Structure 1
Amino acid sequence: MADECCSKGLTRRQWLNASAGLGLAAGEAAAAPRVNIHAAEPPPASADEALSRLKAGNRRFMEGRAKHTHENASWRHMLVEGQRPFATILGCSDSRVPPELVFDVGLGELFIARLAGNIIAEDVVGTLQYAIAHLHTPLVVVLGHEGCGAVTAAVDDMLHANHEPSHIEALLRLIEPGLAKVDLKQERDALLKAAVEANVRWSMKQLVAVPEGERAIRDGKVTLVGAVYELASGNVRFLSR
C-alpha cells in the first residue's frame, strides 16, 4: 500500500507522517469530553411538539426517507450520563413494529414498553408511571397494529372458545373485555380492524382509570393518544380522541 502511495507522488516518509497524524486525530476524538445531550438537542417542549416529531418521523419512514440519526458512537457517548426521551410508547411485541424505526428516531428518544397486544398489566402501569414521574415524558402513545396476533387470538376465542396454553389464555382475558362492543358478525377483515382499534382504546381507558394517570392527564402533565400502525403502508394512523 505504501509503494502505491509513493507512486502517486507521496514519499514513504510523507505517507507515514500522514498516517501518524490520522491516528493522533482519532485518539483526540476518542478522548474528547462528553457533551450534554440536553444541550445538544433540546427535546420537544410540549406534547403537541412531541406528537409532531413522531408524525414527521413516521412520514419519512413511510416514504423511504428515514434519516437514521442519533445512532452513532458520539451520540451513544452523550447518553451515558442519562436519558431524556420525549415520548413514551406502549406497543406490541410484534417484530414488524419497532417504534424507533417506525418513527425514525434514535437512541434515547423514546421510552418503550412492548408486550403482546399492548395490554395493560400491573408491571406495565409501573413502567408508564416511571416514565411520567421520573422521565417527565409529556406524551404517551398506545400503539396497536394491523394483523395483531394477540387481538386475533382474542377474537377467535370469543367466536369459537379456543383453548390456548395457560399464560396465553391469561393474556386473552386482559384483551377480551375491550372487545365487548365489537360486532363479531361483520366480515373478518373489518372485524379484526375494528378489534385492533378497540383494543387500543381499551388500553387507553385502563390507563386513565389509574388514579395517578387520571391526575397526570387532568393536570396537563401528560397527553395520552392512541394509534394503529398499518403494516403494508408503514403509516401510523392516530385515533381521534
Structure 2
Amino acid sequence: MHRPFVDLLDRNLDHAAAFTDRFDDVQDAQHPPVVTVCCSDSRVLQDHIWGNDTPGQLFTCGNIGNRVVDRTAAGDVVSGDVLYPIVHTGTETVVVVGHTGCGAVTAAYDDLTDGIDEPPGIERCLDLLEPQLEAGVDALPDGLDRAAAIDRLVEYNVDRQVDFLVESDEVPAEVEVVGVVYDFQDVYSGQRGEVHVINVDGERDPDALRATHPDIESRIERLWTY
C-alpha cells in the first residue's frame, strides 16, 4: 500500500473524531444553499477555499475546466452534476470557480492553436470545453505572454459557463449564478488564495457589478473586460 494513502487514512481518523456530531442534521436529506463547480485540480481545495467545515452546506462538483455543459444526443445540456442539487435539493446559488494557471484551459488553448494529442477520456473533456473558448482565443489582446493569455481565457471560460446556466431553461430564473476566479499565483491584487468575483448572472462589467453589489465591491476584479 502506497504510503500517501495510508497517511490519508490516518488523517481521516482525526476528521471522524472532529465531525462525529456534525452529521446529525443531514442524516435523511440535504439542502445545500450553494453548489460550486470547481476545476479538478489538486491546488484548489473545494471546501477549504471557503473555510467550510459544515456537512450539507456546499454541494461540490469538480471536473477539468469547471464545466457546466454536457453533451447528449439531443444537444448540449446542463450537466447533471450541477442540475441535481438545483432540481432536487432546492439549491438557489451556483458558483462557477475558475482558477489562475488552469491546466484544462491551457490544454484547450494549445489544442485550438497548435493541436495536441491526449487520451480519449481527456480528449472528450477538451471537446466539451473548447467550443466555449474558441472565440476567446481569437479575441485575445495582442502582446500577451502565454501565462497572461491563459489567465484571461480562464475568465472567458467562467463567463461562458455562467452564460450557459443563465440561458438554460433547465435552471430556474430565481437561481443566482456567480462566476469567480481563485488566485494562488499572485495574478490579481489580493493575497494568494483569494476568490475574485468576475460575473453575476451574466453581468461582467466590474463597475456595474460594484454598483449592484456594494456589499462585495472589494472582491470584484477582472483582468479582461472585452
TM-score range (shorter-chain normalised) is: 0.5 to 0.7
Matched, 1:109 2:53: no
Q: Tell me which residue corresponds to 1:223.
A: 176
* Counterpart AA for 1:138: E
Pick which of 106-115 and 174-183 moved more.
Answer: 174-183
Runs (4 or more) in structure 1 with deviation over 4 Å come to none
After TM superposition, the structure 1 stretch with the greater mean CA deviation from structure 2, 172-181 or 151-160, is 172-181
CA contact (8 A) 1:89 1:142 kept: yes
- Which structure has the bigger radius of gyration? 1
| 1:212 partner SS | coil
The amino acid across from 1:91 in the alignment is C
Q: Taking every aligned residue pair, what percent have the same amino acid on both sides?
A: 37
Matched length:
167
1:84 CA drift (Å): 2.0
Higher helix share: 1
Query: How far apart, CA to CA, are the structure 2 residues paired with 1:139 and 1:152?
Result: 28
RMSD of aligned residue pairs (Cα, Å): 2.0
Deviation at 1:154, TM superposition (A): 0.6
Distance between the aligned counterparts of 2:58 and 2:146, measured in 1?
34
Equivalent AA in structure 2 for residue 205 of structure 1: D
Q: Within 5 Å, which residues of 2 pair with 1:130-149?
A: 130-149=84-103
Unaligned 5+ segments in structure 1 are: 1-67
> How high is the TM-score relative to the length of structure 1?
0.64
Correspondence for 2:147: 189
Which whole-Å CA distance do the structure 2 matches of 1:144 and 1:237 have between them?
10
Q: 1:142 and 1:87 mapped to 2: Cα distance?
A: 11
Q: Retained in 1: the 8 A contact 2:108–2:126?
A: yes
1:56 — aligned with what? none
Quick one: which amino acid aligns to residue 197 of structure 1?
Answer: E
1:210 Cα offset (Å): 2.3
1:159 aligns with 2:122: no
Q: Judge which range, 117-126 or 102-111, deviates more.
A: 117-126
1:75 is displaced (CA, Å) by 0.9
For residues 129 and 201 of structure 1, the distance between their equivalents in structure 2, rounded to whole angstroms, comes to 18
Q: Does 1:90 align with 2:37?
A: yes
> Counterpart of 2:24 in 1: which secondary structure?
helix
What is aligned with 1:204?
162
Q: Distance in 2 between matches of 1:103 and 1:93?
A: 16
C-alpha distance in 2 between matches for 1:148 and 1:124: 22
Query: Whose strand fraction is larger, Structure 1's or Structure 2's?
Result: 2
> Cα deviations across residues 4-30 of structure 1 (Å, max 9, x unaligned)?
xxxxxxxxxxxxxxxxxxxxxxxxxxx
Distance 2:148 2:44 in 1: 21
Deviation at 1:209, TM superposition (A): 3.3
Letter in 1 for 2:193: G
| Alpha-carbon distance between aligned partners in 2 of 1:184 and 1:95, rounded to the nearest angstrom | 30
Q: Which residue of the other structure, out of 195, 199, 212, is the alignment partner of 1:236? A: 195
SS in structure 2 of the partner of residue 190 of structure 1: helix
Aligned partner letter, 2:47: E
Cα contact 2:33–2:91 (8 A) shared by 1: yes
Residue 111 (structure 1) shift? 0.6
Note the C-alpha offset of 1:184.
7.4
Alignment TM-score, normalising by the size of structure 2: 0.68
* Displacement of 1:117: 0.7
In structure 1, C-alpha distance between the alignment counterparts of 2:89 and 2:129, rounded to whole Å: 28
Q: Equivalent residues in 2 for 1:12-51 (5 A)?
A: none
